[in-house]
Structure 1
């Protein structure tokens, strides 16, 4: 099983027992009475202090023990003589696995900007901020799988390579094995994709939803959790070209059931992080508080733990899109022309409109329903009024939409009409349409961008900082 991790050692009662530490040096300092080495192995935000006597080790060895070097330390676990930690290790032996040149190692013990750390994404997990984010990301991913498993859902692996565009947006990454220097052409001069690997055009998926619905029509309740890709030329703090999506699909669920599941799901996974990531969340909360000291009072953020507990403890406000538009039309920012984008029935709400509803008007998370059909996807079930669809969006403070979903159209004729209406060739999704011909059933589902969730839980400001190796326009370095 190997040596105990630092997280486990810090919880032990010291009794001069022999222990082995393996990790990376965060700091080393020397005084006339002792040499102090702070070691971290990534298992916790906290370092463990290892102490050696002056002259115990050669000067040559100590020169290799620098910030960033990797060590194995054996010694005795004893009560700490200093403040800030209960235990420390009295060093018997040091073995250096790998050195880190002090002049070239970029992560010296000082504060680094997030922009700089994105340039060294291969090393940024070693910082306190990013190790905390990655541990929280892991906890949230585990909580997602646990939530659905405990409620009788089946984990379905949907294709990463697909010939369908679930969203109808057309912003997809093409997958091909064709020689770009010698593209085969049809008689009309078009690229002949029949010569390609799959014999047709293929792309990286933007969503596993359509295939997920097929699973729900047999297994009743499924969920997907996998990578998705959007070739959207966006450089905002909320968009990535590669990100992870969680998409449950449920047979026999109508719109109200869908909303209930979405609210319970997101509260449960946030609660899991609150319970299991206390030290990392406390660190990130303090980090945000330090940043806020330089901001005007009205621009300071809600303390992180207070924000997370508020979401968990309060019922989400539910209202229709039409009711939300009425609120926005009567709002002070609209009357004073302070909204950047106009307000009116039929608009696709912008982030500023969503955040006004959440942060200013209701001051709690909001679920909006029954959007105009023209601004929503073809697969959403048409309402009886013929103008709106049974869509739902969950809106959160700070980031706006975090979940988007709907009751799916289960009527074959109505779905086929919508497919033609939006310009999709029915032949490309014949298999999807057939599920409405063979034992159709009411069903619903939603999608949660995992990075949006991690962004909210960690309090980070840029989505590029909550995924290990972000992909965005002109950036695929690592």
Structure 2
């Protein structure tokens, strides 16, 4: 008999059907009722032992976490909250699980802290929480590819190893073939990188944007979706050393086009996940509501997970300039009552507390802020006519703050050269990027979506380490 996934059985099967399922034991009660899950859905199916068809030796091997194959007939369940029971006609133990070993792990059926779950990341996929998170992560990834494919974009694989620093921040992981003590030195004591594998100093990329721009100037509409790396010594709930970025680049788009694209894109993702992962969203929504009840009122979410997703799907995003945002914040009650921890001044970057006030308290909808001061934005952003601001945009979401950063790119050769000098970026390191401005240069724009931040938003998880299978953070590279 061909195996059926539990998701398929629960959705399509009828009473009286004979099915074969394979999965892992989540619980075994009264030596008769087995809760089985195979990862296809958050829901278990209950198998009921028929003692006439099950020998005692097999019964003793049915333990939590054991892998089993069960054949039987579907009948109406006598229990609450489930449609079917599977009356067992045959059961095979595919993989044993020692109860004593299980009791030492997160597979033991009880509540565990998220930190303990991270320490046993090789097993946390088996929990209800992380099964839901990673099914939603998969759906989010598929939605991104589907959106761009359906809208005529070309997927571009940009380099992971690079000789340039797209962000100009310098926080990059070096890639070298030299050993820890055998790097050849120049006369002045510096490393002679010309002897290294690539003949120059190279690093793991922080962005595929610059290379994607090159492709956009020939193919029109492209996007990248790949791993990026940042050697930032940060242990916050929003930072990883290894993470994934989604970066579309579009020829002939200006800043307004860029905002329109990003808004439509984010709304599409939220709608896709809501429609295709209803059970997992419902589980995570209920979990969050229960956790909120144990928190002080000031720390609770203003909107539930489901409400936040609807908030994005059903609202047009508010669009304001950075200058207007500063004025609004300085006239706000929190500012006047000195509730903000960080200063609000023109020329300084907005902090999370400012962003969340704008989204959650003032506008009560997603917000796009544009035209930031050039002083703290990247060199490739197009300089506005005022000479002080750039055609940049940040998109702010409830609960998470900035989720997308983007801009119209600087297409003018002379201006881009001046900006490279201002940012202390050597022209020989980005000669190819400058070169594209000589051959039919044109306005173009794009943005970057931190994939893990998007998954945080659609799952309601509050720590970025809990939305990537094996998080890489300072002093942590386990698994």
**Same fold flag (TM > 0.5):** yes
SS in 2 for 1:183: coil
Match of 1:71 in 2: 68
Decide whether the 8 Å contact of 2:326 with 2:346 is kept in 1.
Answer: yes
Are residue 244 (structure 1) and residue 244 (structure 2) matched? yes
Decide whether the 8 Å contact of 1:5 with 1:21 is kept in 2.
Answer: yes
> In the aligned structure 2, how far is the partner of 1:338 from the partner of 1:86?
52
> In the aligned structure 1, how far is the partner of 2:15 from the partner of 2:273?
33
> In the aligned structure 1, how far is the partner of 2:433 from the partner of 2:446?
15
SS in 2 for 1:253: coil
> In the aligned structure 2, how far is the partner of 1:366 from the partner of 1:218?
32
Unmatched tracts of structure 2, length 5 or more:
none
Match of 1:169 in 2: 169
Decide whether the 8 Å contact of 2:254 with 2:408 is kept in 1.
Answer: yes
Match of 2:58 in 1: 61
Match of 2:394 in 1: 393
Decide whether the 8 Å contact of 1:455 with 1:463 is kept in 2.
Answer: yes
Are residue 305 (structure 1) and residue 298 (structure 2) matched? no
Cα-Cα RMSD: 1.2
> In the aligned structure 1, how far is the partner of 2:16 from the partner of 2:366?
51
Match of 2:419 in 1: 418
Deviation at 1:19?
A: 1.2
Match of 2:117 in 1: 117
Decide whether the 8 Å contact of 2:404 with 2:449 is kept in 1.
Answer: yes
Instruction: Tell me the TM-score normalized by structure 2.
Output: 0.97
> In the aligned structure 1, how far is the partner of 2:424 from the partner of 2:355?
29
Decide whether the 8 Å contact of 1:14 with 1:79 is kept in 2.
Answer: no
Deviates more, 1:55-64 or 1:212-221: 55-64
Residue 36 of structure 1: which of 33, 42, 46 is its match?
Answer: 33
Match of 1:230 in 2: 230
SS in 2 for 1:103: helix
Match of 1:145 in 2: 145
Q: How many residues align?
A: 475
Task: Report runs of 4+ in structure 1 exceeding 3 Å deviation.
Answer: none
Decide whether the 8 Å contact of 2:53 with 2:90 is kept in 1.
Answer: no
Match of 1:220 in 2: 220
Deviation at 1:53?
A: 2.6
Decide whether the 8 Å contact of 1:7 with 1:44 is kept in 2.
Answer: yes
> In the aligned structure 2, how far is the partner of 1:83 from the partner of 1:334?
52
Decide whether the 8 Å contact of 1:371 with 1:388 is kept in 2.
Answer: yes
Deviation at 1:183?
A: 1.4
Decide whether the 8 Å contact of 1:415 with 1:433 is kept in 2.
Answer: yes
Unmatched tracts of structure 1, length 5 or more:
none
Decide whether the 8 Å contact of 2:393 with 2:405 is kept in 1.
Answer: yes
> In the aligned structure 2, how far is the partner of 1:351 from the partner of 1:83?
44
Q: 1:239 to 1:2 in 2, by over 3 A?
A: farther
Deviation at 1:2?
A: 4.9
Deviation at 1:82?
A: 2.2
Decide whether the 8 Å contact of 1:222 with 1:250 is kept in 2.
Answer: yes
Deviates more, 1:206-215 or 1:193-202: 193-202
Alignment map for 1:92-111 (pairs within 5 Å): 92-105=89-102, 106=105, 107-111=107-111
> In the aligned structure 2, how far is the partner of 1:88 from the partner of 1:177?
59
SS in 2 for 1:274: helix
> In the aligned structure 2, how far is the partner of 1:304 from the partner of 1:17?
37
Deviation at 1:174?
A: 0.7
> In the aligned structure 1, how far is the partner of 2:401 from the partner of 2:307?
18
SS in 2 for 1:104: helix
> In the aligned structure 2, how far is the partner of 1:61 from the partner of 1:184?
64
Deviation at 1:56?
A: 4.0
Decide whether the 8 Å contact of 2:369 with 2:395 is kept in 1.
Answer: yes
Decide whether the 8 Å contact of 2:2 with 2:20 is kept in 1.
Answer: no
SS in 2 for 1:250: strand
> In the aligned structure 1, how far is the partner of 2:331 from the partner of 2:200?
51
Match of 1:266 in 2: 266
> In the aligned structure 2, how far is the partner of 1:257 from the partner of 1:245?
20
Question: Which string of whole-angstrom CA distances, capped at 9 and with x for unpartnered residues, describes residues 340-381 of structure 1?
Answer: 111100001111111111111111110000000001000000
SS in 2 for 1:435: helix
Instruction: Tell me the TM-score normalized by structure 1.
Output: 0.98
Deviation at 1:16?
A: 2.6
Question: Which string of whole-angstrom CA distances, capped at 9 and with x for unpartnered residues, describes residues 243-270 of structure 1?
Answer: 1100000000000000000000000011
Match of 2:404 in 1: 403
> In the aligned structure 2, how far is the partner of 1:55 from the partner of 1:191?
75
